[in-house]
Amino acid sequence: MNADDPVIPVDPQDPAQRRRRNQQDGARGGKPFKFGQKGDVREVAVNVPPDEPPPWQFGDTHAVVGQRTPRVDAVAKVTGKARYAYDMNLPGMVWAAFVRCPHARAKVTAVDYSEAMKIPGVLVAKDYGSKDIRYALQHFGVVAAETHAACLEAVRAVKATFEVLPHAARMDQALAPDAPRVHSERPNKTGDDFRPEAVAAFEKAAQGCDAVVTGTATTEVQTHMCLEPHGVTARFEAPDRATVWASTQATFGARGEVARVLKVPEANVTVIAHYMGGGFGSKFSLGVAGAAACTLSKELGRPVKLMLERRAEHAQGGNRPSSVQEMSLGVKKDGTLAAYKVSKTGTGGIGGGAGAANPMIYDFGEVAEADFEVATNAGAAAAMRAPRHPQGSFALETIMNLAAEAIGMDPLELRRKNDKHPIRARQYVEGAKRFGWDKRTASGSGKGPIKKGMGVASSLWYALGGRGAQVLCRIRKDGSVEIRNGAQDIGVGTKTILAMVAAEELGIPLSRVTPFLGDTNDPIGPASGGSTTAPTIMPAARTAAFMAGRSLREIVAKTWDCGADDLALGGGKVIHLKDRSKSMTFEKACALMPGDEIAELGKRTGNYAAYEGQTGGVHFAEVEVDTEDGTIAVTRYLALQDAGTILNPLTAESQVNGAIVQGVSYALFEERILDRQLGQQVNADMEMYKIAGPKDMPRAEVILTEVVNGANNVGVAGLGEGPSVPVAAAIAGAVHNALGFPVWSLPMTPDRVLAAIAGKEKGK
Partner 1 sequence: MKDFTYVLPKDAAEAARAAAAPNCALKGAGTDLVDRMKEGVTRPDTVVNLLTATDLRSPIREENGRIVMGGAITLAEVAESELIRKVAPGLADAAAEAATPQIRNRGTVAGNLCQRPRCWYFRNDTYACSKKGGETCYSIEGENKYHAIFENVTCNIVHPSNLAPILQVLGGTLHVVTAKGTDVVPSDIAVKDFWVRPEEDISRENILVAGQVIREVSFPIPRGTTGSSYVETREKASFDWALTSCAAALTLEGGKIASASVVLSSVAPTPLQLEAVEKWLVGKAPSDALFREAGTKATDGATPMRDNAYKITLTAVVVRRALSAAAARATGGGK
* Interface positions with partner 1 (CB under 8 A): 102, 149, 152-153, 156, 628-631, 633, 668-669, 673-678, 680, 682-683, 685, 687-688, 690, 692-696, 749-751, 754-755
**Which of 316, 276, 346 lies closest to 684, judged by CA?**
316
Shortest Å distance, C-beta 696 to partner 1: 5
State the minimum distance, in angstroms, from the CB of residue 684 to partner 1: 8
Question: In whole angstroms, how close is the CB of 36 to partner 1 at the nearest point?
Answer: 42
If residue 400 lies in a helix (H) or strand (E), which one and from where to where? Answer: helix 389-407
Q: Give the span between the Cα atoms of 361 and 718, in whole angstroms.
A: 18
Nearer to partner 1, 334 or 761 (CB): 761
Residue 268 or 631 having the CB closest to partner 1 = 631
Q: What single string gives the DSSP state of each residue in 154-199?
A: HHHH-EEEEEE-----SHHHHHSTTPPPSSTTS-SEEEEPPPHHHH
Which of 129, 140, 133 shows the shortest CA–CA distance to 166?
Answer: 133
Q: Rounded to whole angstroms, how far apart are CA atoms 680 and 432? A: 45
User: Smallest distance, Å, CB 394 to partner 1?
Assistant: 19
Cα separation, 408 vs 302, in Å, equals 70
Distances from the Cα of 174 to the Cα of 167, 216, 679, angstroms: 8, 20, 12
The CB-of-156 to partner 1 minimum distance in angstroms stands at 6
Contact 406, 226 (CB under 8 A): no
Question: Nearer to partner 1 by C-beta: 494 or 683?
Answer: 683
Nearer to partner 1, 593 or 682 (CB): 682
Sheet containing strand 106-112, strands side by side: 132-133, 106-112, 159-164
**300 CB contacts (<8 Å, ≥6 apart)?**
94, 123, 124, 144
Q: How far apart are the first and last CA of the chain?
A: 62
Taking the complex as a whole, how short is the minimal distance between the CB of residue 192 and partner 1, in angstroms? 32
Which pairing describes strands 513-516 and 481-484: parallel, antiparallel, or unpaired?
parallel
Q: Rounded CA gap, 376 and 763, in Å?
A: 34
Residue closer to partner 1, measured from CB, 104 or 356: 104
Which DSSP symbol is given to 427?
A: H
Helix pair 750-763, 727-739: axis angle to 10 deg: 40
Q: Which is nearer to partner 1, 522 or 622 (CB)?
A: 622
Minimum CB distance to partner 1 smaller for 74 or for 149: 149
To partner 1, the closest distance from the beta carbon of 633 in angstroms equals 7
Q: What does the chain come to in residues?
A: 764
Find the shortest distance in angstroms from Cβ 149 to partner 1.
6
To the nearest whole angstrom, how small is the minimum distance from the Cβ of residue 152 to partner 1? 7
Smallest separation (angstroms) from partner 1 to the CB of 628: 5
Task: CB nearer to partner 1: give 234 or 315.
Answer: 315
Identity at 124, one-letter amino acid code: V
Beta strands in 486-631 (DSSP E): 513-516, 567-570, 573-576, 583-585, 597-603, 615-626
Q: How far is the CB of 694 from partner 1 (least distance, A)?
A: 5
Give me the least distance between CB of 174 and partner 1, in Å please: 17
Q: Which is closer to partner 1, CB of 597 or CB of 626?
A: 626
The total of other beta-carbon atoms located within 10 Å of residue 355's CB is: 21
Based on CB atoms, which residue is closest to partner 1, 510 or 678?
Answer: 678
The CA–CA distances, whole Å, from 515 to 432, 506, 538, 720, 722 equal: 40, 14, 12, 21, 26
The β-bridge relationship of strands 583-585 and 241-246 is: unpaired
Whichever of 600 and 670 has its CB closer to partner 1, that residue is: 670
Distance of CA 235 to the CA centre of its chain: 29
Of 463, 456, 460, nearest in space to 433 by CA:
456
- How many C-beta atoms surround the C-beta of residue 142 within 10 A? 25
Q: Output the smallest distance, CB 159 to partner 1, in A.
A: 14
Nearer to partner 1, 100 or 550 (CB): 100
Measured in whole angstroms, the distance separating CA 715 from the mean position of its chain's CA atoms is: 19
Alpha helices in 695-747 (DSSP H): 727-739
Of 146 and 696, which CB lies nearer to partner 1 in the complex structure? 696
